Amino acid sequence: MWTSPPTTSSAPPPLPQTMTSDLHHVTMETFWREVRSIEEEIDGEEEEEEDEEMKSIDEVELEEAWLMEAGLSSLVTSSLSEEVPPPAEVLLSTLTRQQAATVRRRLDNYSETLKTRNRKPIRDVRDVFTEPNDEPAERCPAPPSPPESPLSQYHTTTKTIRRKAHRVRSTLPTFVFEDQPPEHSSSSTHTLSPTRTHSLCVSWSGQADWLLRDSPYSEGVAEHRRGGTCQDCVRFHGIDGGDVPFVPVAPSQGLVSADDLSPCDLTRLGFISHIELSTFLLALGVQTKRPRPPRRKTRDSGVFAVPLNSLLENDKKKFPEVKVPVVFQKLLCTLEQTGLQTEGILRVPGSAARLKYLRGELDRCCGEFDWSTVRQVEAAGLLKLFIRELPTPLLTHTHLSTYRSVLGVSSVVHQVQALQLLSLLLPEENRETLRALLAFLRKVVSHQDQNRMSLWNVSMVMAPNLFTYSQRGNKRSIAKQREGMEEAVGGAHLVRLMITHQDLLWTVPSFLLSQVRQMNQASNQKQFDLTKAKRRLLRRKNDRNQITELCAGVIRVQAPLHTKVSMAIQLDGQMRAKDIITRFECDHSSSVQHLYEVGGNICERRLHPDCLLLDVYRVNPGCDWLIKP
């Protein structure tokens, strides 16, 4: 949790000597100014509630919550139906060796903890994993381990963050930033072997080709934890400053965003992402511990302190397609229209009395509110106030501590990968609101020549609003001040990464989508309850049909909202989704049309316009093709 500076003095605490090196020092004044502004608005109302946040969840509750979030509720609850097979069997059949080991470890710890309390678990770990010593085979091959290379000097072993009040924590070398991207020394390229030269040249452009891997992130970091040469650290060590965005590399099947999938597929994606994130952080040596959520006031009406899902439920009565609360969109729109060129936007605080008045007016009559009377600094203050007063933080209580744990990862590439998995775990309303916020913050940074708000300044301002902090008294030791500054810089570092690499946060890696397909396929087999003989015969029949259809290369596209409701199309290696859409007349429709992959081993997926349909067909030959908005 982020700590605030002493309130007895208006000046921020002095920076440690280790963080004041000429141009590389971190300016903390922006952060502390924002913290003091927040303290003035809180005015001591939540001091009693914050003490409860320090308490950790009971170990049984923690393990039970983890298993529930991983889609393994049937292992900890007795509400099972004999007609429907437990979803745990379907999910476990798609896990890799390391992912299955993580589930086994969690379930074993849950069972042992219950036994010490003389409570019998619903299902023992030996019932789920019949042969504990025989780990399931990997569904995806692990990438080959790179040979020992001189580039191991760029790699540092991941450290676990442990908070101890009696010990002064050393400053983290990763958190030394500039407002400009670091200059890369050209001499480092001379140490490369001929086989490494091409891969590093690709890394200078920041191409995130690790999205295309068939193997999970957790399978490629074994060398990282042992302090050896990690493939990702070797390739991307030159841009560890974090200012150069990673460019997603589109596979032939097209990039998949989280909002391209159906709710059913998103649920299963969340199960796999949850297990993979825990496995990934464990492989990196990072331990996470979830605190108990604090009690916060929740309102049923108005704008502020109202849950996001309640706001969206009310907004969808007027705007059915809305994904972000209307008041939040209004605030962003007001700032984009008049505030992007305003110097110090987001940083300069507005009048506290004026903000209190505007808040009351918005709560009273949001639909009839006159936005023309709101100045830029007031809109910025209302935006930050809206984020802070959400009953559930925008990053959620469930994952907020895990976000902080990402600071224990030494490689920027692995930090971005962990943030990507975390973003896919957020509820839809939180994910879409965060996406709108990050897109706006990127626009603010793009106008830094006019508004004097660099990427680092924006990150420093937004960190105390996205990450909660607790006040620990006015008299604090030097160790507490140093810890508070490290946490401030750490929070700003996470915000900075999310702004810079936001396009990757919503992109589904290939291995996750592949595991979702495997889970759907296994679920379909369970649902039809086929015997081994029937499955063998059906597999042979499907194989013959698929070969015949693939040779014919013909698909049938359905478009029920168009004049041409159906069309048989011959596929070739160059045909893309946008080519199919242009063949249908849609003059009467003002909305953008998309081609969807429906059924087979996916519930529903909106295809990227540039994806090659023949490759999609090979992955899911049993799907239907549908054109709709």
Query: What is the pLDDT confidence band of residue 116, given thresholds at 50, 70 and 90?
Result: confident
What confidence tens digit (pLDDT) does each residue in 532-566 have?
Answer: 555 566 565 555 444 444 455 688 898 888 777 88
583 secondary structure, DSSP code:
T
Query: What is the pLDDT confidence band of residue 151, given thresholds at 50, 70 and 90?
Result: very low
Other C-beta atoms closer than 10 Å to the C-beta of 3 total: 19
Which pLDDT score is estimated for 266?
A: 95
- Is residue 489 within 8 A of residue 175, CB to CB? The reply is yes
Is 302's pLDDT higher than 60?
A: yes
Q: Which fold has domain 21-48+201-296+391-469+477-529?
A: Phosphatidylinositol 3-kinase; Chain A (1.10.555)
Rounded to the nearest 10 degrees, the angle between the axes of helix 455-466 and helix 376-388 is 40
Higher pLDDT, 169 or 357: 357
Question: Which of 121-135, 214-228, 385-399: highest mean pLDDT?
Answer: 385-399
Which pLDDT score is estimated for 1?
A: 43
Query: What mean pLDDT comes out for the span 456-482?
Result: 73
What the block records as the tokens of 292 is: 């108990």
58 secondary structure, DSSP code:
P
Is 188's pLDDT higher than 90?
A: no
What confidence tens digit (pLDDT) does each residue in 232-289 have?
Answer: 776 665 554 556 778 888 888 888 999 999 999 999 999 999 999 999 999 888 888 7
Which pLDDT score is estimated for 159?
A: 41
What the block records as the tokens of 598 is: 């429906």
Higher pLDDT, 528 or 271: 271
Query: What mean pLDDT comes out for the span 314-338?
Result: 92
In DSSP notation, 279-312 reads HHHHHTT----PBPPPP----SSSSTT--HHHHH
Residue 625's beta-bridge partner residues?
557, 597
The pLDDT mean for the chain works out to: 75
What the block records as the tokens of 596 is: 């969807």
Residue 98 phi/psi, 5° resolution?
-70, -35
Query: What mean pLDDT comes out for the span 406-420?
Result: 90
Q: What percent of the chain has pLDDT over 70?
A: 65
Question: Which of 13-17, 201-205, 366-370, 533-537: highest mean pLDDT?
Answer: 366-370
Number of H helices and number of E strands within the chain?
Answer: 25, 9
Query: What is the pLDDT confidence band of residue 395, given thresholds at 50, 70 and 90?
Result: very high
Q: Which of 577, 603, 609 is nearest to 569 (CA)?
A: 577
Is 371's pLDDT higher than 60?
A: yes
User: Which CATH number, 3.40.50.720, 3.10.20.90, 3.40.50.2300, 2.60.200.20, labels domain 538-628?
Assistant: 3.10.20.90
615-622: long-range contacts at Cβ-Cβ below 8 A with a sequence spacing of 24 or more?
Answer: 615/252, 615/253, 616/253, 616/254, 617/550, 617/555, 617/571, 618/550, 619/253, 619/517, 620/517, 621/546, 621/549, 621/550, 622/542
What is d(CA 395, CA 397) in angstroms, rounded to the nearest whole number? Answer: 7
Query: What mean pLDDT comes out for the span 514-536?
Result: 75
Q: Dihedral sign, CA of 62, 435, 334, 318?
A: negative
Which pLDDT score is estimated for 416?
A: 93
Which pLDDT score is estimated for 381?
A: 93
Which pLDDT score is estimated for 585?
A: 66
- Is residue 60 within 8 A of residue 114, CB to CB? The reply is yes
First to last CA, the chain: 43
- Is residue 6 within 8 A of residue 476, CB to CB? The reply is yes
